[in-house]
Chains A and B, each alone.
Chain A
Amino acid sequence: MAHIKLERPNLGFGLGLRPDHYEAILSDKPLVDWFEILTENYLVPGGKPHYFLEKIRENYPVVMHGVSMSIGSVDPLDKDYLKQVKLLSDKIKPRWISDHLCWTGMLGKNMHDLLPLPYTEEAINHVVDRIRQVQDFLGQQILIENVSSYLTYQQSEIPEWQFIREISERADCFILLDVNNVYVSAINHGFDPLDYISAMPKDRVYQLHLAGHCNMGNYIIDTHDHEIVDPVWKLYVDTLRHCGDVSTMIERDDNIPPLEDLLKELSRARELASSVLDEKIL
């Protein structure tokens, strides 16, 4: 399939759509530019999830973010899952569809976790081939997200940033760069997060994730249950300096605060982004 490259769209500043906030979003119409939905939450026949999604969709652009495409698994691609994703996408018309650069299970089982891949030529070829199949099936380019990881495989031959870069270029897909995951993995594996950021093919980075995590002392766990920490904000600024203006959103999956708290965090992202933009003008 030939892909036509358009200029990177900028959706502005978004939030992850969580059921806890459904009512508040409908009644307060908060100043959020867009919402990212968790694809799997809406792969159900009907009821509340679809009701609220449709209402919210009337007022906001959305993107779809999945957790179980399992693009790196050795199992065959799950056609039934992809069909459901396509049906949902036909219905709600998201600006784009993303999932993670990982595997979630094999031999028909699902661990429901974003498990790391070895950074090898074999894995690159495997994933590139599958992303192409998915893009052909969905009729659009997808975004793949870097996951946080807690271990390194002996097999890995190249750094993670080279792995994701190679894959995005060879598969001709886009990148959802999770700035918090870069930071978490940098601490866990002892690399410089700036090496990662500066290796990103900037035109392919279509979206950024910001999130909080849990610092365990010797290592960090990517829990999405805290506020964003200062070093991640700093890395966000570095990311914008490298990539330019990119659609940004905050992910919060646990210990979910009232919407206002997330809106405050989102305004911080706006302020930082506009200060980076000012630097460029000066």
Chain B
Amino acid sequence: MSQLFLLQNKFQDYLLSSQYDIFNDIVETTTAPINVRLSIYSEAYRSRLIEALATNYPVIRVYLGHDQFQMLGQQYLEKYPSHFRSIRWFGDCLDAFLKECETYSNFPYLSELAKVEWTMTLVFDASDSHIITIDTLYNIPPESWVDMQIRLHPSIHLMQFKWNVLPLWQAISQNQAVPELEQSESPVSWVFWRNNLINYYCSLADDEARAIGALINGYSFGEVCELLCEEGSEQDIAMRAASLLKGWILSGLISEIKY
């Protein structure tokens, strides 16, 4: 093994787990002892990564407060050190960590709140794409509706939450009174997307969530209608599907319709 490998390995072990094998590789000086010099690096490492976590999770940071968030950041960093080139992606497993970590197991909504925040970051810098206007829809011949393929905007994320984490997220990010935490009987679906550089989110009725889920999976419009068929007459279904589609176009959810 090369000298360089050994040195870097010892230095990284020091940063990751405070192992002092690197100590003998550092020159002792009168101005600052070795441990002080080394600690500049370990403190910078911890504070930089915890700050990056706070950037991705500003609402959790406020909700937990400085000290508790520092502790969370420290624990997370030990379990999931970064293997990313860009620090932007640090924190991708925070929702999983909050679920598995005993400290937070009594606060199950925290993991959902983390999921909301991470999704917001994904929506923020997802790929750009053109969106269609309602005119596009009017130009489609009626016989093509069944087979047409609807391509969603790349920023779209469909999520389900048991807790009222979106009202909670909104209240904290707008500096308003935090709502009472509530768990719904069955999970509620939410769609997140970006339009004109602004992030949006909206709760969905069950059939609409199913329809969007089907589009994400590449179903044609006709197949989406069949999914909706379980609940109503054929004509009602067609009306419902068409009105959903109009709503999606007006909200900027649709990038392309191929027919």
Contact = CB atoms under 8 A, between A and B. Distances in A.
B81 interface: yes
B: contact size bracket? 35 or more
B199 to A, nearest CB: 9
Contact of B9 (A106, A153, A190): A106
Contact of B197 (A45, A51, A73, A219): A51
A123 B4 contact: yes
Given A74-B5, A151-B27, A151-B34, A43 B85 contact: yes
Contact of B27 (A43, A109, A153): A153
Interface in B64-109: 81-88, 90
Interface size band for A: 35 or more
Given A106-B9, A154-B27, A126 B49 contact: no
A111 B82 CA distance: 7
A111 B85 CA distance: 10
Given A152-B27, A155-B3, A40 B8 contact: no
A46 B125 contact: yes
B9 A107 contact: yes
Interface stretch (A112-120, A166-174, A200-208): A112-120
B11 interface: yes
B85 A78 contact: yes
Contacts of B124: 47-48
Contacts of A152: 26-27, 29
Given A153-B7, A190-B31, A40 B12 contact: no
A108 to B, nearest CB: 5
A49 to B, nearest CB: 6
B7 A110 contact: no
B102 to A, nearest CB: 25
Interface in B34-69: 34, 36-38, 40-41, 44-45, 48-49, 52
Contacts of A117: 4
Given A113-B44, A154-B26, A108 B83 contact: yes
A113 B46 CA distance: 10
B4 A122 contact: yes
Question: 3 closest Cβ contacts across the A-B interface?
Answer: A46-B128, A44-B125, A47-B125
Given A68-B86, A151-B37, A219-B31, 9 more contacts: A44-B125, A46-B126, A46-B154, A81-B85, A103-B8, A105-B82, A122-B2, A154-B24, A218-B31
8 contacts: A41-B88, A47-B124, A47-B126, A84-B85, A115-B11, A150-B32, A154-B26, A219-B32
Interface of A: 40-41, 43-51, 68, 73-74, 78, 81, 84, 103, 105-113, 115, 117-118, 120, 122-123, 126, 150-155, 188, 190, 218-219, 221
Interface of B: 2-5, 7-9, 11-12, 15-16, 24-27, 29, 31-32, 34, 36-38, 40-41, 44-45, 48-49, 52, 81-88, 90, 124-128, 154-155, 194, 197
